Every structure is written in structure tokens, then in C-alpha cells.
């Protein structure tokens, strides 16, 4: 609210998406505004990115935990937490966190975000067959058949490498 609301909204969007790894996703405006204490959360996100940029993942994680007290359902914070875990070498907990975030996006009806997160998981764990199957299912539901076919071919290659020829043939 206020006389320069549009300018502040643009700044908030820039802070939330500008320094994200990959930087491909755009945070929907409603998800920014639906968060209680939006200003605090936006400032926290900027501090988290600054801390990560400065090579302080532990401090960034503390900042995430503090911000989650204000906005526990804000998925972008949870995703930042997973990103910090990945940087810190905690791949398995980060992947589990990302799976939960992806499923939450699906439940909320945001399949595109879920696809992006599942793809992120597969970059860190390419032989994660259940995640790849979930991604294929989601892509098929969204009529992204070319991408789903590509994932099927990837799955076939994984089965071949694992010497599961019957599964590869079936896939």
C-alpha cells in the first residue's frame, strides 16, 4: 500500500527472483502478498541471498529459520533452505525437502513450479527413478508430451545402465 506501491512491488519481485540459483522461475505476486509480514520476509530473502553470496551458508540457514517463524507456509523460504543444504553438501535431506515442496506445489495447483523442482532434484540425483516417474506423470498431465517422452528415454537409459533390460524394454 502507499503512494509508491508498484515500485516497491517491482523491488520485491527483483529481490525474490534476482539471485535465485537458475533464476528461471518468477514468484507469483499472490504468493508474495499472501505471506504475513511480507516486508520482513522480503528483507529476509534479500539477507539470505547476501549471506549465501558472501559464503556464509550457516548464517543464511539461521536467517531462513527466523523468516519461517513469520511465514511458515511460504514455499520460497523452504526452497532457499533446500538450496543452502545442497550447497552445504547435505544432498539427501535437500532432495527430500525439494520432494515435499514439489508435492505441495502440485496440491496447490502449480504444476509448472513442481516440474521445475523435480527437474532440480534430477540434476542432483539423476538415477532417482521415483522422482523421474513423478515428473513424467506431471508432464503428461500438462500435455508436455515431448518433455515426457524425453524423460521416458532418459529412464530407459538408466535401466540399461543398471542392467535391467526387461524394465528398459518395458519403458
CA dist 3 and 79 (Å) reads 32
124-168 pLDDT, tens per residue? 999 999 999 999 999 999 999 999 999 999 999 999 999 989 988
Helix (H, G, I), strand (E, B) or coil at 144: coil
Nearest CA among 45, 97, 113, 41 for reference residue 71: 41
Query: What pLDDT band is residue 72 in, cutting at 50, 70 and 90?
Result: confident
Name the helix (H) or strand (E) containing 38.
helix 38-53
The helix/strand/coil state of 166 is helix
CA-to-CA separations, 137 to 85, 111, 114, 145, in angstroms, rounded: 27, 11, 11, 10
Q: Is the pLDDT of residue 16 over 60?
A: no
Grid cell in block for residue 152: 521416458
pLDDT recorded at residue 24: 46
For 29-53, write each residue's pLDDT tens digit.
555 555 556 677 888 888 898 999 9
Q: Give yes or no for residue 117 having a pLDDT over 90.
A: yes
Contact 46, 76 (CB under 8 A): no
Work out the percent of the chain whose per-residue pLDDT is above 90: 58
Average pLDDT in the chain: 85
Amino acid at each position: 500500500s502507499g503512494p509508491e506501491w508498484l515500485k516497491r512491488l517491482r523491488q520485491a519481485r527483483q529481490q525474490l527472483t534476482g539471485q535465485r540459483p537458475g533464476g528461471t522461475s518468477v514468484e507469483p505476486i499472490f504468493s508474495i502478498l499472501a505471506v504475513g509480514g511480507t516486508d520482513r520476509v522480503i528483507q529476509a530473502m534479500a539477507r539470505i541471498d547476501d549471506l549465501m553470496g558472501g559464503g556464509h551458508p550457516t548464517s543464511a540457514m539461521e536467517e531462513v529459520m527466523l523468516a519461517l517463524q513469520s511465514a511458515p507456509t511460504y514455499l520460497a523460504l523452504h526452497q532457499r533452505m533446500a538450496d543452502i543444504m545442497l550447497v552445504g553438501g547435505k544432498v539427501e535431506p535437500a532432495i527430500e525437502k525439494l520432494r515435499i515442496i514439489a508435492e505441495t506445489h502440485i496440491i496447490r495447483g502449480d504444476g509448472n513450479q513442481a516440474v521445475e523442482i523435480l527437474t532440480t532434484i534430477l540434476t542432483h540425483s539423476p538415477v532417482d527413478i521415483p522422482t523421474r516417474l513423478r515428473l513424467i506423470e506431471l508432464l503428461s498431465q500438462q500435455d508436455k508430451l515431448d518433455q515426457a517422452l524425453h524423460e521416458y528415454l532418459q529412464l530407459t537409459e538408466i535401466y540399461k545402465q543398471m542392467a535391467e533390460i526387461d524394465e528398459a524394454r518395458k519403458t
